[in-house]
A and B are shown apart, each in its own frame.
Chain A
């Protein structure tokens, strides 16, 4: 059993514990490499099936390839695909891209971080608790329809990894969130061996992290080993750049890299060329404490 096997086996165990204990369980799918590995692991855990819905928060600023890839995979794997959105903020233009032209200090100006708060954090919290409408993919027509199910989710599987950035390294496999989706880092329950926090008070929910012990290199090695389809944005298409982490178009900068396939990405990660650059450095919204605070308030 090698290291990847061990990581895989632990993730599968966590998936099955989550499925057992949370009747209202869903999995967040950001379409990036981590959540795609997560999806694959779910199929490993459930012998080819994905017995819970996937939730995607659509900021409307995702790169179009991501959305195409999302729906293609959902139809192919027959996934229950739920999409949530902060439609009001988008319609009212209360976003960073829509107010980018305004001078700093203008009352209507929305900073990058505030934009994340509105389009991701708020949309996520309100989609999970069912306060805002959810759209569900009709696998027959390939179109999204209003989901009549508005019940809150109590278990939310998330693809966070401990090595990504400081605050994520503080997570547990099963990490409780209070009524306001907030994360009380100081008061987390203990996690003995493989006994997780699976009892929860009404109104609260639990975030589940099957990928906590994985690193970026593990993710790519696993993608290679299992031959998992990934979106083309991760690879250099001839411009000498590629995305290392996927977010919204306006806040996302590609990195200088000529890695054209999975092997080359693995080589690049191993060679140490990227070793000294934080993975999310292309994400322009990650300020000093900003992300940490957003996470505590419920951002994934």
Chain B
């Protein structure tokens, strides 16, 4: 009964300013009869009235300030139709200042038309655009060599541009464009109608090249990737569903599937696929913004990646990426930024600039200590907490990130590869352990309800003799007396028993940390608030402890007399009273929503 909605494809038109993008678009609009009645005449009249020669480009200039500046400022989304489908056309501007607008357009385009001026030849911006289209994931590209009328419609001239640009794109690893088409936007040659003055060209017109693009195949057959967008429990009108909401970026999942969450390594089973005003379904695949209820309630948060156990994502704090920087201030080392990747947001730092790619020549350029505005770079970054992701060969949404500086998105890129950090082996151990963990009959959620809080580890760290043990004891006691299930884990006790076979040496530090963390992990699995104190394990080891305990919150309290900045979650001088310290730790747990 319902007529199927028409096929739609979003395309972006990129190219240096004045190469004729707006003319191409205006012309395509007019030729496909996609303009409102009277629009063409109105623009012609307006031109006649003001004494300006008519331009097809004027059709798009809906904004006054754009007309004032004489350049297309933003990604104007417009629609035009062919017999095959509807096109949402994003008229991307070419001025370098407006690169961020080109990116916004191209980042959501399925196909691109890259316009080159036949007379000007290949310029810096053409190369940069080629690079960016590749980075942004636009795989279907037609190159329109415009203004052929200005170069006598010369075949050799066209072929030279084609072969030069193809070899440039090849050198940067960009996909080879489907088609190079010689056009003249102003006379309408090879746009919707073949040119009768360039008979040497036998390829398709621009319009038929676009129509020949096939929609990207659905990503249903790839491994499941479901970034957790939110956990909803609305509770209104007796609705007690706890729904894990998000969009399936690839793969499919069905009711009854066992799923795992990274980086926490938690697992559960899909109970129901939830939806409003839609028929019940038992399986759902890539593209759907959906939600699930799980058979076992587990504590997970936004930013975790739900997958099947057989194809988990990468988890690390370090990765190598290709990125573009657009911020007014440069991207620098030793400064905290915010990284957003799928639904995760974490603090991030620039560690290394592996190379700066210069678009002015086709090659690469030397190094600089920062990534400046409009630079394209190959970088290594490090996040404060481990995150789950894919490299670009394995995923799209899970390999694409942006960097926020202050309030604004200042850069973006794609992950090329995970890099080793020091916790890699521990993370692997934890994943194997957690995926195969035999669960008891009491769930973590049930323990949480009984005890009135989830489990968490509070680690007291600091030099010998600063009073860690005294304060940790006080905290344990205070928590216990206020009805919480708390337990103090003193590192000495682990040394005396679990570690009694070990001989103290520098090389054994890793093993000490491992054993300590595994003991803590058991206590955490029992649902306790574990307050630990140890001399053997310091702030430098916390990342390793966290790698072995990805499924529970780990908070650090550093006791240190002297001032300065502490990288711990909380800093005490050791001069505080026991009562005061206990209160501060309670406040910390409350602020992290562990205690109510």
Query: Is B402 part of the contact surface with A, judged by Cβ < 8 Å?
Result: yes
A188 to B76, CA, bound (A): 13
Which residues on the A side are within 8 Å of B75 (C-beta)?
170
Q: Would A48 and B239 be within 8 Å (CB), given that A192-B104, A276-B37 are in contact?
A: yes
Query: Is B36 part of the contact surface with A, judged by Cβ < 8 Å?
Result: yes
Query: Is B153 part of the contact surface with A, judged by Cβ < 8 Å?
Result: no
Q: Of B10, B73, B232, B245, which contacts A186 at CB under 8 A?
A: B73
Query: Is A163 part of the contact surface with B, judged by Cβ < 8 Å?
Result: yes
Closest beta carbon of chain B to A197's beta carbon, Å = 6
B63 in contact with A185 (CB, 8 Å) = yes
Q: Would A166 and B232 be within 8 Å (CB), given that A1-B287, A199-B404, A213-B77 are in contact?
A: no
Which residues on the A side are within 8 Å of B74 (C-beta)?
170, 185-186, 188
A47 in contact with B107 (CB, 8 Å) = no
A47 in contact with B243 (CB, 8 Å) = yes
B101 in contact with A6 (CB, 8 Å) = no
Closest beta carbon of chain A to B58's beta carbon, Å = 12
A189 to B247, CA, bound (A): 24
A1 in contact with B218 (CB, 8 Å) = yes
A218 to B73, CA, bound (A): 27
Query: Is A92 part of the contact surface with B, judged by Cβ < 8 Å?
Result: no
A12 in contact with B289 (CB, 8 Å) = yes
B229 in contact with A189 (CB, 8 Å) = no
Which residue of A is nearest B81, CB measured?
A275
When each residue 252-275 of chain B gets 1 if its CB lies under 8 Å from chain A and 0 otherwise, what string results? 000000000000000000000011
Q: Of B88, B101, B237, B276, which contacts A213 at CB under 8 A?
A: B88
A190 in contact with B101 (CB, 8 Å) = yes
A172 in contact with B104 (CB, 8 Å) = yes
Closest beta carbon of chain A to B172's beta carbon, Å = 19
Q: Would A165 and B397 be within 8 Å (CB), given that A191-B104, A192-B107, A195-B412 are in contact?
A: no
Closest beta carbon of chain B to A271's beta carbon, Å = 13
Query: Is B20 part of the contact surface with A, judged by Cβ < 8 Å?
Result: no
Query: Is A72 part of the contact surface with B, judged by Cβ < 8 Å?
Result: no
Query: Is B393 part of the contact surface with A, judged by Cβ < 8 Å?
Result: no
B36 in contact with A276 (CB, 8 Å) = yes
Query: Is A3 part of the contact surface with B, judged by Cβ < 8 Å?
Result: yes
A195 to B73, CA, bound (A): 21
* Contacts across chains A and B counted by CB atoms under 8 Å: 164
Within 8 A of B (CB), among A42-81: 43-49, 51, 78
When each residue 74-111 of chain A gets 1 if its CB lies under 8 Å from chain B and 0 otherwise, what string results? 00001000000000000000000000000000000000
A17 in contact with B5 (CB, 8 Å) = no
B277 in contact with A44 (CB, 8 Å) = yes
A189 in contact with B408 (CB, 8 Å) = yes
B409 in contact with A189 (CB, 8 Å) = yes
Closest beta carbon of chain A to B507's beta carbon, Å = 43
Q: Would A43 and B277 be within 8 Å (CB), given that A49-B239, A192-B400, A218-B5 are in contact?
A: yes
A47 in contact with B408 (CB, 8 Å) = no
Within 8 A of A (CB), among B214-246: 218, 229-230, 232, 234, 236-237, 239, 241, 243, 245
Q: Of B78, B229, B275, B409, which contacts A20 at CB under 8 A?
A: B229
Which residue of A is nearest B277, CB measured?
A226
Which residues on the B side are within 8 Å of A163 (C-beta)?
77-79
Interface size on A, residues (CB 8 A): 60
Q: Of B101, B241, B276, which contacts A44 at CB under 8 A?
A: B276
Which residues on the A side are within 8 Å of B236 (C-beta)?
49, 78
A138 to B401, CA, bound (A): 44
Query: Is A292 part of the contact surface with B, judged by Cβ < 8 Å?
Result: yes
Interface size on B, residues (CB 8 A): 63
B103 in contact with A165 (CB, 8 Å) = no
Which residues on the A side are within 8 Å of B16 (C-beta)?
none
Which residue of B is nearest A192, CB measured?
B412
When each residue 182-204 of chain A gets 1 if its CB lies under 8 Å from chain B and 0 otherwise, what string results? 00011011111111010111000
Which residue of B is nearest A174, CB measured?
B409
B65 in contact with A193 (CB, 8 Å) = no
B107 in contact with A191 (CB, 8 Å) = yes
Which residues on the A side are within 8 Å of B326 (C-beta)?
190
Query: Is B385 part of the contact surface with A, judged by Cβ < 8 Å?
Result: no
Closest beta carbon of chain B to A23's beta carbon, Å = 14
Q: Would A48 and B104 be within 8 Å (CB), given that A20-B229, A167-B63, A197-B409 are in contact?
A: no
When each residue 134-177 of chain A gets 1 if its CB lies under 8 Å from chain B and 0 otherwise, what string results? 00000000000000000000000000001101110110100000
Which residue of A is nearest B247, CB measured?
A13
B77 in contact with A169 (CB, 8 Å) = yes
A169 in contact with B408 (CB, 8 Å) = no
A225 to B277, CA, bound (A): 11
B407 in contact with A201 (CB, 8 Å) = yes
Which residue of A is nearest B248, CB measured?
A9
Which residue of B is nearest A213, CB measured?
B88
B5 in contact with A4 (CB, 8 Å) = yes
Which residues on the A side are within 8 Å of B49 (C-beta)?
none
A47 in contact with B79 (CB, 8 Å) = no
Which residues on the A side are within 8 Å of B4 (C-beta)?
2
Query: Is B6 part of the contact surface with A, judged by Cβ < 8 Å?
Result: yes
Closest beta carbon of chain A to B420's beta carbon, Å = 27
B230 in contact with A20 (CB, 8 Å) = yes
Which residues on the A side are within 8 Å of B409 (C-beta)?
189-192, 195, 197
B408 in contact with A199 (CB, 8 Å) = yes
Query: Is B441 part of the contact surface with A, judged by Cβ < 8 Å?
Result: no
B288 in contact with A190 (CB, 8 Å) = no
Closest beta carbon of chain A to B12's beta carbon, Å = 13
A33 to B454, CA, bound (A): 46
Query: Is A16 part of the contact surface with B, judged by Cβ < 8 Å?
Result: yes
B234 in contact with A49 (CB, 8 Å) = yes
A47 in contact with B100 (CB, 8 Å) = no
Which residues on the B side are within 8 Å of A289 (C-beta)?
64
B63 in contact with A170 (CB, 8 Å) = yes
A48 in contact with B276 (CB, 8 Å) = yes
Which residues on the B side are within 8 Å of A185 (C-beta)?
63, 65, 73-74
Top-10 shortest CB links A-B? A166-B62, A276-B37, A190-B100, A192-B412, A3-B5, A12-B289, A162-B77, A191-B104, A195-B402, A199-B407
Q: Chain B: residues with CB nearer than 8 A to chain A?
A: 2, 4-8, 10, 36-38, 62-65, 73-79, 88, 100-101, 103-104, 107-108, 136, 218, 229-230, 232, 234, 236-237, 239, 241, 243, 245, 247, 274-277, 287-289, 291, 302, 326, 338, 340, 397, 400-402, 404, 406-409, 412
Known contacts A190-B100, A213-B10, A213-B88, then 9 further A-B pairs from the complex at CB < 8 Å, ordered by chain A residue: A6-B287, A47-B275, A78-B236, A163-B78, A163-B79, A169-B62, A170-B63, A185-B73, A213-B77
Q: Chain A: residues with CB nearer than 8 A to chain B?
A: 1-6, 9-10, 12-13, 16-17, 19-20, 43-49, 51, 78, 162-163, 165-167, 169-170, 172, 185-186, 188-195, 197, 199-201, 212-213, 215, 218, 221, 224-226, 275-278, 289, 292-293
Give me 17 A-to-B residue pairs in the complex whose CB atoms sit less than 8 angstroms apart, sorted by A's number. A1-B287, A13-B289, A20-B302, A44-B276, A47-B241, A49-B239, A172-B104, A185-B65, A189-B409, A191-B103, A192-B107, A192-B412, A194-B397, A199-B338, A199-B404, A224-B2, A277-B37
